[in-house]
């Protein structure tokens, strides 16, 4: 959701200043599309959904786990934050499986099976700040393209056994909107009951639905609170945002 260098630097300095143990998870779809364009590769789509074929898997591995992850890590290191870039394959921190083919074959898309919470704790307890790119593996040698929101939720769930975890989702809106085109219609607080109402009324739909499902699943698994808003939310919780609780 951050697509220019000055926005990214601002976000990284906000992140570096955050107190307590912390983890960053990022994707990088826009940059991956740019690289695919530069290589003359067309995105492969089926039924309106993007398919990760071999060529696209290589691209997201290069862009997410390479270019973006290492530049984010170097940026945080410059700010005194001891970042360590990770894919799920590294120290086996996120195990996944290739998405089962039902109607659509998504190719090398990964659904998360579990996280290496002991290794992640080891890093955190030694002052190392994990920075996850949205790439996982199946422990059989196959890398997999995996949704960054899902990775964040799975990490939050897995680590909530040992730590008090707050999950902050940053995206291009100020929060969950009652009216999609009205930035002033942010809902301040959504609990499970209200979430059901918003789903039934079709207010939460399409792209927001899987994101919100991830959030409530994380809350049910022990995550204390989920916040949703723009990237500047992490430095100032007074900024308009949506808070989710059970």
Interface residue list for a copy of itself (CB under 8 A) = 35, 38-40, 58, 61-67, 69-71, 73-75, 77-78, 82-85, 87, 89-92, 119, 122, 126, 128, 135, 137, 139-143
Task: Name the residue nearer to a copy of itself (CB basis): 112 or 168.
Answer: 112
Q: How far is the CB of 115 from a copy of itself (least distance, A)?
A: 14
Task: Name the residue nearer to a copy of itself (CB basis): 142 or 240.
Answer: 142
Task: Name the residue nearer to a copy of itself (CB basis): 10 or 203.
Answer: 10
Q: How far is the CB of 154 from a copy of itself (least distance, A)?
A: 18
Q: How far is the CB of 44 from a copy of itself (least distance, A)?
A: 17
Angle at 52 between CA 46 and CA 55, to 5 degrees: 120
Q: How far is the CB of 141 from a copy of itself (least distance, A)?
A: 4
Task: Name the residue nearer to a copy of itself (CB basis): 69 or 160.
Answer: 69
Task: Name the residue nearer to a copy of itself (CB basis): 87 or 214.
Answer: 87
Q: How far is the CB of 140 from a copy of itself (least distance, A)?
A: 5
Q: How far is the CB of 103 from a copy of itself (least distance, A)?
A: 28
Q: How far is the CB of 122 from a copy of itself (least distance, A)?
A: 6
HEC sequence for the chain? CCCCHHHHHHHHHHHHHCCCCCCEEECCHHHHHHHHHHCCCCCEEECCEEEECHHHHHHHHHHHHHHHHHHHHHHHHHCCCCEEEECCCHHHCEEEEECCCCCCCCECEEEEEEECHHHHHHHHHCCCEEEEECEEECCCCCEEECCHHHHHHHHHHHHCCCCCCEEEEECCCCCCECCCCCCCCECCEECHHHHHHHHHCCCCCCCHHHHHHHHHHHHHCCCCEEEEECHHHHHCCCCCCEEECC
Structure tokens at 88: 């799920």
Task: Name the residue nearer to a copy of itself (CB basis): 107 or 175.
Answer: 107
Task: Name the residue nearer to a copy of itself (CB basis): 126 or 200.
Answer: 126
Quote the CA–CA distance of 130 and 152 in Å, as a whole number.
12
């Amino acid at each position: 959701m951050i697509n220019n260098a000055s926005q990214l630097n601002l976000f990284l300095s906000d992140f570096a200043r955050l107190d307590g143990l912390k983890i960053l998870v990022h994707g990088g779809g826009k940059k991956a599309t740019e690289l695919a364009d530069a290589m003359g590769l067309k995105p492969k789509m089926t039924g309106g959904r993007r398919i990760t074929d071999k060529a696209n898997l290589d691209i997201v591995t290069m862009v997410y786990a390479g270019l973006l992850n290492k530049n984010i890590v170097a940026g945080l290191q410059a700010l005194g934050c001891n970042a360590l870039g990770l894919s799920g394959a590294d120290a086996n921190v996120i195990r996944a499986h290739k998405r089962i083919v039902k109607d659509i074959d998504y190719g090398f898309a990964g659904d998360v099976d579990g996280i290496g919470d002991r290794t992640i704790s080891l890093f955190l307890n030694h002052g190392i700040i994990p920075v996850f790119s949205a790439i996982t593996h199946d422990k059989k040698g196959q890398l997999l393209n995996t949704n960054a929101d899902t990775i964040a939720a799975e990490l939050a769930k897995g680590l909530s056994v040992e730590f008090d975890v707050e999950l902050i989702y940053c995206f291009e809106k100020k929060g969950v909107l009652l009216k999609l085109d009205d930035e002033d219609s942010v809902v301040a607080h959504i609990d499970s009951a209200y979430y059901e109402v918003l789903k039934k009324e079709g207010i939460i739909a399409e792209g927001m639905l899987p994101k919100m499902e991830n959030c409530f699943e994380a809350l049910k698994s022990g995550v204390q609170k989920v916040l949703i808003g723009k990237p500047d939310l992490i430095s100032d919780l007074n900024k308009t945002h949506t808070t989710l609780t059970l």
